[in-house]
Amino acid sequence: MKFCIINATEFTVEMIDADDFNSALRAAGLQPGEVDFGALSRHLHIAVYEFGMYLPLLEQKFFSLGRNLYVGNAVLFACDDVGETVSLPALPSVMFYKGATEVERAIHRGEIDRPRVALNDVVLWQWPQPRRL
């Protein structure tokens, strides 16, 4: 099955063949059980290290897909209409950033959104604030 590996340190995007999702995670340097998932569209999904946004700024390696900012390596995968994982048909367009200053510039230019956690429109956390327990 085809998966996309985004390497935020090397600034690379690569299509790989893997037997299953967990094999693709390991190929990206990620561990099963330590990832968060996101939906980029109905059939395109992403898995990243669950606490990447909370790492110290100098340890964060950035990329964006569309208006969304991500930290660290990632696996992109495709699903069919019933949610079964299928081969990814193509590589996405990925933008890499050299550091937090470059990310801030992209946010101020309106190219990407600032990551945040909100409840009822009340912002509880936003990047680059440290994690609160």
85 belongs to a structural domain: yes
Cβ atoms within 10 A of the Cβ of 43, count?
Answer: 15
Q: Which domain holds residue 90?
A: 2-126
Q: How far apart are CA 64 and CA 70, in angstroms?
A: 6
Give me the pLDDT at residue 130, please. Answer: 85
105 belongs to a structural domain: yes
Which DSSP letter does residue 18 get? -
- In this prediction, residue 73 has a pLDDT band, given cuts at 50, 70 and 90, of very high
At 7-54, the pLDDT tens digits run 999 999 999 999 999 999 999 999 999 999 999 999 999 999 999 999
45 belongs to a structural domain: yes
Specify the number of domains making up the chain: 1
Instruction: Kindly report the pTM of this predicted structure.
Output: 0.93
Tell me the percentage of the chain whose pLDDT exceeds 90: 95
